[in-house]
Structure 1
Amino acid sequence: MMMVRSAYDKKKDDIHFEYWQRCRYLPEDKLIALLDHDNFKLSLEAAASLQLMGGSKIIRLAQMDSFSNRYKRRALAAFILGQIKLNTKEEKISLKILYDLALNDQSAIVRSYAVSSFGHRCEKAKKKYADTLLSLAQSTVLDKSVMVRVSTAFALSVFKNKASIPLLIKLLKDTHSEVKNWAAFAVNVNDYDTPEIRNCFVLLLDEKNFEARFEAIIGLAKRQDKRVTQILIHELSQERIYDEMVEVTAYLGDVSLLPTLYQVKDKFGTFKELNTSIKVLEHLKSKL
């Protein structure tokens, strides 16, 4: 059983593949020309190809474009600088550019790409710039743009540092579900755990956004917080269930979930995650 993709998601994937096919064999000059295309998604795919291609010419172009009077070129420049291979001098210049764009650019999409790219550079440098990213996030966590706050949550997910926790708690309390989703992802991927984080996750159990709710369910179960037990029972009683939710019942360790897992077995048959969880919970029950 896998996450079911919506028709909308499938269409997006198909379009992305079409643009990738269109760009994959183009020479550098043709890709650079596409940066000015009216279709921004196609321009972004061209930028991704240039990013992979790398080289001093593309790096200099991206650095110069970060000062363009066209916001789309600035956004694409920020994107390219996020993961392109840089030497020490190029990286120092690029990080300053990204930091300035993230804080000061008038365009939300530029600020968003700059924050995400700063996170990517921090990840590539193995946390070398973590303190600088935390300083940046102190401001961008309060940005008026949802896109920028989402990017901030993503950037905080790329390295583990407990100093991120207060910022992520702010994002978990955001008014927008996608921000909360990414903040919950950042918390889970880094295994942060505080009473306030758990309480934020409990509030997310009522989210309409399934992905945010999913992160909260997984997070609470892995932290052995039994306030999620009834939610798990409900989710595992649906016609469509998810492997991860079956798997985390073993982490939660609540034997009251056994009857529900037996029902899952009757309905869907056996599979690895289910067998493991039943075995763990049966062992716990035998000790009671």
Structure 2
Amino acid sequence: MMMVRSAYDKKKDDIHFEYWQRCRYLPEDKLIALLDHDNFELSLEAAASLQLRGGSKIIRLAQMDSFSNRYKRRALAAFILGQIKLNTKEEKISLKILYDLALNDQSAIVRSYAVSSFGHRCEKAKKKYADTLLSLAQSTVLDKSVMVRVSTAFALSVFKNRASIPLLIKLLKDTHSEVKNWAAFAVNVNNYDTPEIRNCFVLLLDEKNFEARFEAIIGLAKRQDKRVTQILIHELSQERIYDEMVEVTAYLGDVSLLPTLYQVKDKFGTFKELNTSIKVLEHL
């Protein structure tokens, strides 16, 4: 997914690194104690360390915590169960727990982590649980929480199945830009293409959220939809341009982009994506 980094993002990364450094060498009992820390981000980093270390003790703890009366422990349990190494029996139990949390937990953050983790488990199992995930997503695309709908879009990105398309179209029409962003990412990463998807992408060209707009621009260009030509010309005329947008001009195959690409060359010099796109368009 396209990420635009800000000073806020960098600060978050610095804090994340600080917490990672704090947790990486702690013994297991100290990490478990941190799961109850007031700082949820620190607790999440402790959970990530426990998830990475794995083992039956941590699996049992996460499975028990999924029934905790504290929502934070349920959320961390769902997170841990998403990518920890499980045997067949443990996986069966954990998937049932995640499914139930995703549908029924009162806390939106718990439901969100449960949906994402179910997606991770589906990805690890090489689509084995794809039908179950699709069944789950039928409900979670309608969840009142933006976080849960974002997680649903992410979960649908982890495997290719055209049965996902109607669900992703619902998410592309969501009222929240971050949901639409992740839905567009899921569509693009799996190369889905229908007239309705293209029309949804055209509507996303007016999004204020740059990342959602970016996914739509890239998606339309790769699908050779000329409705994106003028938008690409505008974006490539800015002071800050993105290699991916230069690259997809070759997919779009519209020679009216050549003057803009020549201007990019004059302004920024040559680079691989630019040279390739100019060469492709000059030979059309």
Take 1:174 and 1:3, find their aligned partners in 2: how far apart are those partners? 20
For residue 3 of structure 1, report the CA deviation from its aligned partner: 6.3
Match of 1:184, SS state, is helix
Give the TM-score taking structure 2 as reference length: 0.99
For residue 5 of structure 1, report the CA deviation from its aligned partner: 1.9
Given that 1:249 and 1:257 are in contact with CA atoms closer than 8 Å, whether structure 2 keeps it comes out as yes
For residue 253 of structure 1, report the CA deviation from its aligned partner: 0.3
Given that 2:181 and 2:215 are in contact with CA atoms closer than 8 Å, whether structure 1 keeps it comes out as yes
Match of 1:26, SS state, is coil
Match of 2:183, SS state, is helix
Given that 2:3 and 2:211 are in contact with CA atoms closer than 8 Å, whether structure 1 keeps it comes out as no
CA distance 1:18–1:122, shift in 2 (3 Å)? same
Take 2:63 and 2:78, find their aligned partners in 1: how far apart are those partners? 8
Fraction of identical pairs, as percent: 99
Take 1:71 and 1:51, find their aligned partners in 2: how far apart are those partners? 19
Match of 2:76, SS state, is helix
Q: Residues 62-110 of structure 1, C-alpha deviation per residue, up to 9 Å, x if partnerless?
A: 0000000000000000000000000000000000000000000000000
Given that 1:150 and 1:182 are in contact with CA atoms closer than 8 Å, whether structure 2 keeps it comes out as yes
Match of 1:111, SS state, is helix
For residue 2 of structure 1, report the CA deviation from its aligned partner: 10
Unaligned runs of 5+ in 2: none
Give the TM-score taking structure 1 as reference length: 0.97
Match of 2:193, SS state, is coil
For residue 246 of structure 1, report the CA deviation from its aligned partner: 0.2
Take 1:2 and 1:102, find their aligned partners in 2: how far apart are those partners? 27
- 2:7 alignment partner in structure 1: 7
Given that 2:4 and 2:211 are in contact with CA atoms closer than 8 Å, whether structure 1 keeps it comes out as no
Structure 1 segments, 4+ long, off by >4 Å, are: 1-4
Match of 1:212, SS state, is helix
What are the equivalent positions in structure 2 for 1:132-147 lying under 5 Å apart?
A: 132-147=132-147
Match of 2:13, SS state, is helix
- 1:178 alignment partner in structure 2: 178
Take 1:237 and 1:16, find their aligned partners in 2: how far apart are those partners? 35
Take 1:209 and 1:114, find their aligned partners in 2: how far apart are those partners? 26
Take 1:140 and 1:201, find their aligned partners in 2: how far apart are those partners? 22
Unaligned runs of 5+ in 1: none
- 2:225 alignment partner in structure 1: 225
Q: Residues 103-143 of structure 1, C-alpha deviation per residue, up to 9 Å, x if partnerless?
A: 00000000000000000000000000000000000000000
Matched, 1:25 2:19: no
* Alignment: residue pair count: 284
Given that 1:258 and 1:281 are in contact with CA atoms closer than 8 Å, whether structure 2 keeps it comes out as yes
Given that 1:59 and 1:81 are in contact with CA atoms closer than 8 Å, whether structure 2 keeps it comes out as yes
Given that 1:3 and 1:242 are in contact with CA atoms closer than 8 Å, whether structure 2 keeps it comes out as no
Take 1:189 and 1:183, find their aligned partners in 2: how far apart are those partners? 10
Q: Residues 174-216 of structure 1, C-alpha deviation per residue, up to 9 Å, x if partnerless?
A: 0000000000000000000000000000000000000000000
For residue 4 of structure 1, report the CA deviation from its aligned partner: 5.3
Match of 1:267, SS state, is helix
